[in-house]
Amino acid sequence: MQTDTPDRILRIKTVLARTGLSRATMYRKMDKGTFPKSIKISERCAGWRESAIAEWMKNPMFYSVDAEE
């Protein structure tokens, strides 16, 4: 699906604020495959696709990374 607005990269503080998760919980969910994986922006910087976070927020209990790929 093509949209006119580009997919933004969100930094960790924004992701945590939008989801209400703690940093530890977010990383634990990433390890389990129940939260979107981060993408490497630079050597010491990572972010998350805004669309992936929005998809997770639609149904966080049943989200699976495998289903997105």
Angle at CA of residue 31, ends 28 and 35, nearest 5°: 80
Residue 64 amino acid letter? S
Check residue 66 and give its pLDDT. Answer: 77
Tokens read off for 67: 């289903």
40: Cα within 13 Å, side-chain hemisphere: 3
In percent, the amount of the chain with pLDDT more than 70 equals: 88
Instruction: Domain of residue 44: give its range.
Output: 9-68
Residue 51 is assigned to a structural domain of this protein: yes
Q: pLDDT tier at 6 (50, 70, 90 boundaries)?
A: confident
Q: What is the pTM of this model?
A: 0.82
Residue 63 is assigned to a structural domain of this protein: yes
Helix (H, G, I), strand (E, B) or coil at 12: helix
Q: Tell me the CATH number at 56.
A: 1.10.238
Our CA dihedral for 55, 65, 19, 12, rounded to 10 degrees, sits at -110
Q: What digits encode the pLDDT tens for the residues 45-63?
A: 999 999 999 999 999 999 9
